[in-house]
Amino acid sequence: MNDLILVEKFKGGDRTAFKELVLKYQKEIYFLACRMVFNKEDAADVVQETFVQVFRKIHQFRSASTFKTWLYRVAINRCKNFLRVLKKNRELAPIENYAVTDPKDSQLDLLLKNERVDLIGETIEKLPKKQKAVLILRTYHELSYKEIAEIVGGSVNSAKVNFYHAIENIKRLVGK
């Protein structure tokens, strides 16, 4: 069933419509959260929080955007909130501390050959939050820049620039 119809039903008090939305979207929100918070248990918590928020805030959803982009926006904000709390407890070195040098190709090759998937995750983890969100939404959720701009805020062009900076930063971090 169409999302907007489900949302309208849910706004009218139909809980089965909410359940349908959970079943439809919980997987992709989980995968999103896994990459955003880089920990599976925490990701599961974030998914729960996200849908609880959706349940509580459904009246704030206006069909000016799609339900999907609205849901992603809620999820990204939950992730960021989680990371902020986490950061307070465990001070991560900010990205500025990493040397800005051009990568040596050999290291990139090594990474490519070994398919160090965990290392990619660790590298994404070090990106500033907005770049990280844009990169993940674009690469793994294949959303358009227009949708991404709606989710993270800002213009379509700033979403593109953030994607570009994310890739640049990964290049630097990998090249270290």
Q: Within 119-158, which residues bind another protein (CB under 8 A)?
A: 120-121, 124, 128-131, 135, 139-140, 152-154, 158
Q: Cα Rg for the chain, rounded, in angstroms?
A: 18
Q: What is the 8-class DSSP label of residue 36?
A: H
Helices (H), the chain: 3-11, 15-37, 40-57, 67-89, 105-114, 117-125, 129-139, 145-152, 156-175
Q: Cα(66)–Cα(91) distance, rounded to whole angstroms?
A: 36
**Contact flag: residue 24 with another protein (CB under 8 A):** no
**Contact flag: residue 52 with another protein (CB under 8 A):** yes
Of 8, 20, 39, 44, the one binding another protein by CB under 8 A: 44
Nearer to another protein, 86 or 161 (CB): 161
**Contact flag: residue 56 with another protein (CB under 8 A):** yes
**Contact flag: residue 58 with another protein (CB under 8 A):** yes
Nearest to 145 by CA among 131, 127, 163: 163
Give the amino acid at 106: S
Q: Within 105-124, which residues bind another protein (CB under 8 A)?
A: 108, 111-112, 115, 117, 120-121, 124
CB of 90 to another protein, least distance (A): 19
CB contact at 8 A, 29 and 43 = no
Instruction: Compute, in degrees rounded to 10, the torsion defined by CA atoms 74, 66, 35, 161.
Output: -100
CB of 105 to another protein, least distance (A): 8
CB contact at 8 A, 3 and 67 = yes
Nearer to another protein, 68 or 130 (CB): 130
Residues that bind another protein (CB under 8 A): 10-11, 13, 15, 18-19, 22-23, 26-27, 30-31, 34-35, 40, 44, 47-48, 51-52, 55-60, 73, 77, 80-81, 103, 108, 111-112, 115, 117, 120-121, 124, 128-131, 135, 139-140, 152-154, 158, 160-165, 167, 170-171, 174
